[in-house]
Chains A and B, each alone.
Chain A
Amino acid sequence: MKKVRFIIKRIAQVIPMLFIVSVLAFTLSNLSAGDAAAITLRGDGVEVTKENLEAVRSEFGLDKSLPEQYLNWLKKVVKFDFGTSFQTKKPVINEIARRFPTTLKLAITATFFSLLLAIPIALISARYQNRLPDHIFRLLCTALATMPDYWVGLMLMFVFAVLLKIFPVISGSEMKNIFLPAITLSLAPMATYVRLLRNNLVEIKGFEYMKAARAKGLSETMALIKHGLKNAMVPCLTMLGTNFGILVSGSFAIETIFSWNGIGKFAVESIKLKDFPVIQCYIMVVAFTYIMLNLALDIIYVFIDPKIQLD
């Protein structure tokens, strides 16, 4: 019962958070330098005259005061109408809706890979603490955490797509080609998970309940898996949430390298063109996903760590 109340309370907190995000998304994009009307005109190849500027401004509602613009915008946003993109002249929500799932797919797959790799590696490192496997993995993880993802992406592409021809060079946003970009994005988070998990596991190894688990007859490896892992995972969840937030906002470099038609690439292009509606919609969608994810994590915490305070 307490759990249900906690969950309802957390969900209710989403609304004010979204409101704050909407204000920030709107004002910050308007504060940036450059005249959107002028850029739109140039983009269309129309001469920038005073009359033309005014025509564009009144068309997009840019001639009104900022609070007024915000309210007009918000009225539409609650109906999922983010306006028309300055660059494509199509409804923004459709443009984002087309690209966001592509990025989300990549983010989920990358997170899945990073955990899939991190858990066994951390277990092996903790089990053979300060012995050869631990040293090798530590070195590897330090290297992976420091290598820039666009470089790793190019190298992986060179080896697996160009030399070995296992994967195509152009992935074309298709699920069957997701492996290379997902692995690229998973490596750096994986390295941080490994280090955190491994250190947690090593600390937990010295706890009394691990000794008790061994005294029951569990082998060292099984004791780590059954009694250590769940305890060690709790601090990792927070980091998982942050990393996933970064992933859902899309990676411009990786999406470009692997020609993955996602939200990151689109956002960067829109920022260059000062395509406000797209930028605003992008911020809202990413923030919404991020908030929902953290909500989900909070709820998961309640089930993983029974000691969590529900009040």
Chain B
Amino acid sequence: MNEIPILEIKNLKTYFYQKEETIKAVDDISMKAFSGKITAIVGESGSGKSVTTLSILRLIQGNGKIIGGEILLKGEDMLKMTEKQLCSIRGKDISMIFQDPSGALNPVIKIKKQLIEAIKLHNKQISKKECIEKCIKMIKAVGLREPEKIMESYPFELSGGMCQRAMVAMALLSTPKVLIADEPTTSLDLTIQAVILDEIYKLKGKNMAIILITHDLSVVAQMADDVYIMHNGHIVESGTVFDVFDVPKHEYTKSLLRSIS
């Protein structure tokens, strides 16, 4: 691992302050993501995976706060950026696919408008015609048929799998350098899970750095290059997939692996 990571997290701490106690959702974690590689973050629910991804995008809300560390995108610390700079990074350099596709699309806006918005936000000069062409091309690229019909649909008129593909298309429209997929298949049927994962796997070849959040170790074994095991807000073990799966060192990793074999 001597290349330069596109995204590097150093000693990140995200805490949630509640009335009495402080919840250390993410406590001092460090990780790296490389272009053309899939980096998996694995852990049970509540282990801090999703908070990590939201921290990367600086979208922690409410009583949560990033209290320390660095998030380096191409060597630049995102924690020191202004909100305006962050807005120009979100959706352009770093895109995200969410866990629940039908919840992540706005129910009262047509897919077309939501897709066009993703382009226009980061490319104001682009003409409407070009925009639509780009959307149609991308919808086809994620394996959906009848792109024109999809564009004119509202999210509730599409199936979960179609919504998730539309979500993937939306995330890819600006050709991001980093793609975060937060449990992209958890809420989908088994058959569609494999298809969506396949679409994500293909992106690896396009020199994109993919951060895959999951609790499914079999998915990790099939797809990931590097893996980080999270437990209680800490990274308990990390390395290449082969290292971690063949010789798990930490007791938690061992129990995780036992649970699926």
| Pair from one complex | yes
Range for the number of chain A residues in contact with chain B: 20 to 34
Which of B117-125, B223-231, B235-243 faces chain A? B117-125
A211-B98, A214-B90, A215-B96 known; A306 vs B156 contact (CB < 8 Å) = yes
Contact between chains at A208 and B108 (CB < 8 Å): no
Looking at the complex, which one of B59, B95, B117 makes contact with A211 (CB distance below 8 Å)?
Answer: B59
Bound CA–CA A218/B170 (angstroms): 14
Q: Return B109 CB to nearest CB of chain A, in Å.
A: 7
Residues of B within 8 A of A216 (CB): 90-91, 117-118, 121, 170
* Cross-chain contact of B117 among A205, A226, A305 (Cβ < 8 A): A226
A207 within 8 A of partner (CB): yes
B136 within 8 A of partner (CB): no
Flag if B95 contacts A231 (CB, 8 Å): no
Interface residues of B in 69-101 (CB under 8 A from A): 83-84, 87-92, 95-96, 98-100
Closest to A304 in B: B108
B106 at the interface (CB under 8 A from A): yes
With A211-B98, A218-B121, A306-B156 already in contact, the answer to whether A231 and B87 are too (CB < 8 A) is no
What CA separation (Å) do A231 and B170 show in the bound complex? 21
- Are the C-beta atoms of B105 and A217 separated by less than 8 Å? no
B154 interfacial contact with A, CB 8 Å: yes
Tell me which of A208, A227, A304, A306 contacts B100 (CB under 8 A): A208
Q: Are B92 and A211 interface neighbours, CB within 8 A? A: no
CB closest chain-B residue, reference A219: B87
How far is A219 from B86 in the complex, measured between Cα atoms in Å?
Answer: 9
Q: Which residues of A contact B192 (CB under 8 A)?
A: none
Quick one: which of A205, A209, A226, A231 contacts B105, CB cutoff 8 A?
A209
Contact A217 B92 (CB under 8 A): yes
On whether A230 and B117 interact (CB within 8 A), knowing A209-B104, A211-B59, A215-B57, the answer reads no
One of B59, B105, B108, B167 near A214 (C-beta < 8 A)? B59
B46 within 8 A of A: no
User: Who on chain B is nearest to A217 by CB?
Assistant: B91
Q: How far is the CA of A208 from the CA of B155 in the complex (A)?
A: 13
Please determine whether B170 and A208 come into contact, CB atoms closer than 8 angstroms. no
Cβ-closest chain B residue relative to A204? B106
Residue B107 CB within 8 A of the other chain: yes
Tell me whether A231 and B156 are in contact (CB under 8 A): no
**Cα(A230)–Cα(B107), bound, Å:** 10
Asked if B205 is at the interface (CB within 8 A of a chain A CB), the reply is no
Q: Closest CB-CB distance, B181 to chain A, in whole Å?
A: 12
A306 contact set on B, CB distance < 8 A: 107-108, 154, 156-157
Q: Measured between alpha carbons, how far is A208 from B98 in the docked complex, in Å?
A: 8
Contacts A217-B88, A217-B91, A217-B121 given; does A211 touch B104 at CB 8 Å: yes
Of chain A, the residue at the smallest CB distance from B89 is: A217
Q: A208 → chain B, closest Cβ, in Å?
A: 4
A186 to B157, CA, bound (A): 39
**In the bound complex, what is the Cα–Cα distance between A230 and B108 (angstroms)?**
8
B103 at the interface (CB under 8 A from A): yes
Q: Could you list which residues of chain A lie within 8 angstroms of chain B, going by C-beta atoms?
A: 205-209, 211-219, 226-227, 230-231, 234, 304-307
Spell out B's residues near A (CB within 8 Å): 54, 57, 59, 61, 83-84, 87-92, 95-96, 98-100, 103-109, 117-118, 121-122, 154, 156-157, 167, 170
